[in-house]
Chains A and B, each alone.
Chain A
């Protein structure tokens, strides 16, 4: 187990990709703090690592600092941070020219500023034990345009990439690595609109060169690679996990 005795914080771990990443870390021996505003899933991952859950609002800087601070104190270390929390509101997140500006602010707070909160809490903790690694979950959607836009989602996820690069260079000397994954189409609760829609699923799968929609496990495998010591010389990069979608012209 490559994450044995490591301590990891995963946001957005109440479901979907965040849950899978947290569960895989736990299965590989990490002690994991799962953070989400969602209700605590029952059961939490069984281990062999220890999993605990903090139901907090990630836009609340003090709550994030307290949760990560307490977790760091109880394990005496913080090795990994995964920022997987994010919202994609198909109904309210629209073109910049028509979006309700309060919705814009709310999406930015959840998708971008929450990562600032976790990074502020994590960096000093990681420094204290000689370093660590972070992965931030963006989306291939921020590499392209869309005639049916979710501009707040797209812009917030692009900003996360810039934040990651900056963190990577600022703290390289402290042994902290920061990288991004760009998931392509992936079957998670965020894409609940596809559930039971066989024709839509087939259409999406056909648009992916590898011929299928991604599984949360595809994303967690890439995330865990970048978190792990196997990626010890990789920082400030982005890894596209999209079945080849973005290799298309």
Chain B
């Protein structure tokens, strides 16, 4: 019989003290929220973004709450740059593969270069960052990878088919890695957010946000980035020690009506 909670020495399974987390695309929006939330739990953050300014701002925000952070400016499609940044940082215990883009295009507007860019940033980027941190995670005796997909990886939208497909691909990559890396106690899960209020979604206008909230989201609102970040922390921490190969989707109930 296991010990009852009051008999056990309680250390918070949420604590990430002593662990380094690489968060890609952390210079703004959701990526920044993930970085801040992990930092609040004690992780040292390697803040990646392609924008030097964005990365620097996130580092500053983390330091202002007493956290540890350093910037790592690279393009997630650049394997050599990723390897160099990871080598400089030391073993990474947590990877949040977040870097991504969307375009708001229909099929006939998408040329091959646009398609490739979409797939390379999402899928190749996830793959290369994972490949770079896996040796360090093995050396540490385990790790947690959280790949950021989207509700559109499961339930399609009528725009950006290449985005929908890339996000679905991230779910496939997650399940394959979960199986491959479980023997090293490296857990790999997927976070698939629904609609979130970010600088990118806000740009599309309050009228669209109101329409989507009212017609598609049972909760009647967009998520705040912080709510999604809580789920990322759960998947990155020992709270989810027995969870691997899964997709967790904070979507305000949208997935139930979306199918």
Contact = CB atoms under 8 A, between A and B. Distances in A.
Bound pair (A, B) = yes
Interface of A: 20, 23-24, 26-27, 45-47, 165, 168-169, 172-173, 184, 209-211, 214-219, 221-222, 225, 230-237, 239-244, 246-248
Nearest to A44: B4
B255 A236 contact: yes
Contact of A236 (B187, B238, B253): B253
A233 B231 CA distance: 9
B257 interface: yes
Nearest to B175: A247
B182 A210 contact: yes
Contact of B243 (A217, A230, A239): A239
A169 B259 CA distance: 13
Interface of B: 2, 4-6, 10, 13, 175, 178-179, 182-183, 185, 187, 194, 218-220, 223, 227-228, 230-231, 233-234, 238-246, 248-253, 255-257
Contacts of A243: 182, 242-244
Closest 5 pairs (CB-CB, A-B): A247-B245, A172-B218, A209-B182, A218-B242, A230-B230
Contact of A169 (B227, B241, B250, B253): B253
A233 B257 CA distance: 15
Contacts of B244: 209-210, 243-244, 247
A14 B194 CA distance: 37
A173 to B, nearest CB: 7
Contacts of B228: 233
A88 to B, nearest CB: 19
A242 B250 CA distance: 20
Contacts of B248: 234, 237, 239
B179 A244 contact: yes
A231 B2 contact: no
B240 A45 contact: no
A24 B3 CA distance: 11
A169 B242 contact: no
B34 to A, nearest CB: 14
A53 to B, nearest CB: 15
Contacts of B13: 221
A245 to B, nearest CB: 9
Q: Which of the listed residues A45, A244, A246 has the most CB atoms from chain B within 10 Å of its own CB?
A: A244
A169 B256 contact: yes
A172 B257 CA distance: 12
Contacts of A23: 4-6
Nearest to B5: A27
Contacts of B233: 230
B6 A46 contact: yes
B149 to A, nearest CB: 14
A143 B13 CA distance: 29
A247 B5 CA distance: 30
Given A231-B250, A235-B218, A214 B242 contact: yes
A184 B242 contact: yes
A192 B239 CA distance: 25
A156 B227 CA distance: 32
Contacts of A46: 4, 6
Given A209-B178, A209-B244, A248-B179, A231 B231 contact: yes
